[in-house]
Amino acid sequence: MSPEAGREHWGSRLGFILAAVGSAVGLGNMWRFSYLTAENGGAAFVILYVAVTLVVGLPVLLAEFAIGRGSGRSPIGALAHFGGRAWTPLGWIFVATGFLILAYYSVIAGWTVRYAVTAAAQGFGPDAGAFFGRVESGWDAVAWHAGFMLATVAIVAGGVKAGIERAAVVLMPLLFLMVVALAIYAATLAGSDGGYDFYLAADFGEILDWGVLQAAAGQAFFSLSLGMGAMLTYASYLSEHEHLPNESLFVALTDFAVAFIAGLAVFPMIFALGLQGEVMESTGGTLFITLPGAFSDMGAAGRVVGLVFFAALVVAALTSAISLLEVVVASAMDGLGWARRRAAVILGSVIAAMGVAAALSPKVLDVMDKTASNLLLPGGGLMLALFVGWVMRDPMAEVRRGAEGVRWFVLWRWLLRVPVPVVLAVVLWQSVPALWQTVLGLFG
Ligand code: PHE
């Protein structure tokens, strides 16, 4: 089998890279990264996170690129192509994960749209907690979620080149500028030093904690969009002999850079306004409660800063949501022969309907997030590492195309064979009991 002749392709190498970066850079970089850093000891967590990204995340990212480009298929077909029919169930799990993540991701994205509109229209009031309470769940949340899904469907329906690539090429540079501008602004605030100290001075006692490793690994997978075939699917639209090792390194470093710079905006702003006490208490609320509180205290400037901040989040979320929907849509196109538009509209509607549960109940949203990021993504990554490390015949030949002369492939395959599965198995071992508790909490 050779990659299908009629398959869509990226218009340029830059288009592919920006789309992959767009998938990686999302709510994870700003929402999850900031609260996990706050929860897990600041700089110590950041250092561990970088290490896990390089040792565990990067090899799996390259594995997804290799399977995707080599097969020219979406996950189910790609795994069958290299591993035989026995591997199709893993592909099905990937597609199911796409449904699940997008369903709640779009709800949170809906909050960010509403926050951006609020910042522009009237600014945040003094009681940010009460505002979040109104935004977080209920029929309003359903409506904003539905609107966000509509935009996602519209872009994916446009196709790989005219929809996804075009959106990424316009939106990603814009996002980068906004995040950098925010970090620069934060540096001008009096009293921001405490934020840098907290963010950049490590408390190494925390690094040795298993819980911190689990958080770092979960975050690395979520942030790099790994373990459910998003990167695999994007790589399936590569026609040329790209230098996959370089591309994967670039995507991983850019993803980290955006998260890091976002932290340089978030923590100094929070400390400058004396709100650090609230960060520790409200985990997910750092972004949606503490920061709007800071914007409200900033007065007129806060309106602009708030708008830029939440607009950046909307952009980041949109390019990630696109990649989640694309996994599902591409699978229906490859597997069922559906036309792109039909797949985008029908499957997007199913996902939007699933998301209603998350928009009406924060507990359901939490269970969906934990199931995906603590179980399905690391589990998917574990299976992918074993697949490329032990099952796929000659994966080296696959990455070597376009990257002749690179010598560290042997190391890559070894990482996939032993260290990556071991780390991921430990992470899963740790997270399954906690996940079970969360699920029980739904009924308790
Ligand atoms: N990487 C995205 C983020 O950081 C989330 C995502 C996960 C996107 C899995 C696609 C697949 O927000």
pLDDT in tens, 166-191: 999 999 999 999 999 999 999 999 98
288/132 Cα distance (integer angstroms) = 6
The confidence band for 284, taking pLDDT boundaries of 50, 70 and 90, is low
Give the pLDDT confidence score for residue 282 in this predicted structure: 54
Q: Ligand 1 pocket, 225 CB below 6 A?
A: yes
Task: Output the CA 204–ligand 1 centroid distance in Å.
Answer: 28
Residue 1 scores a pLDDT above 60? no
Task: Flag whether 142 is in a domain.
Answer: yes
Alpha helices in 25-165 (DSSP H): 27, 33-39, 43-52, 58-71, 75-83, 88-121, 128-136, 139-157
* Residue to probe by mutation, ligand 1, list 105, 222, 327, most atoms within 8 Å of CB: 222
Atom index in ligand 1 nearest the CA of residue 29 equals 4
Residue 438: band (very low, low, confident or very high) from pLDDT cuts 50, 70, 90: confident
Helix 166-187, helix 300-336: angle, nearest 10:
150
* Å from CA of 45 to ligand 1 middle: 20
Band (294; pLDDT cuts 50, 70, 90): confident
Residue 233 lies in a domain: yes
Å from CA of 227 to ligand 1 middle: 10
> Domain of 210: which CATH number?
1.10.4160
Confidence of residue 3 (pLDDT cuts 50, 70, 90): very low
Lowest mean pLDDT, pick from 24-28, 221-225, 403-407: 403-407
- Is the Cβ atom of 223 under 6 angstroms away from ligand 1? yes
Q: From ligand 1's centre to the CA of 192, what distance in Å?
A: 30
For tokens 């890559």, the residue is 412
Number of Cβ within 10 Å of residue 103's Cβ equals 26
- Residue 381, domain member (yes or no): yes
On whether residue 74 sits in a domain, the answer given is yes
- pLDDT at residue 281 greater than cutoff 80: no
Ligand 1 midpoint to CA 188 (Å): 31
The Cα 245–Cα 242 span in angstroms is: 9
Instruction: Report the chain's mean pLDDT, rounded to a whole number.
Output: 91
Of 196-210, 296-310, 393-407, highest mean pLDDT: 296-310
How many domains would you assign to the chain?
1
Taking only the tens place, the pLDDT of each residue in 51-97 is: 999 999 999 999 999 999 999 999 999 999 999 999 999 999 999 99
208: CA distance to ligand 1 center in Å? 27
Higher local confidence (pLDDT), 224 or 34: 224
pLDDT, tens digit, for every residue of 122-155? 889 888 889 999 999 999 999 999 999 999 999 9
With respect to residue 297, please indicate whether it lies within any of the assigned structural domains. yes
| Residue % of the chain over a pLDDT of 70 | 96
Q: Quick check: is 41 in a domain?
A: yes
Q: Is residue 141 part of a domain?
A: yes
User: Does the beta carbon of 319 sit less than 6 angstroms from any atom of ligand 1?
Assistant: no
The alpha carbon of residue 428 and the mean position of all alpha carbons in its chain are separated, in whole angstroms, by 19
Residue nearest to atom 6 of ligand 1 (CA): 225
- Each residue's pLDDT tens digit, 249-262: 999 999 999 999 99
Within a domain: 8: no
Containing domain of residue 417, as a range? 13-443
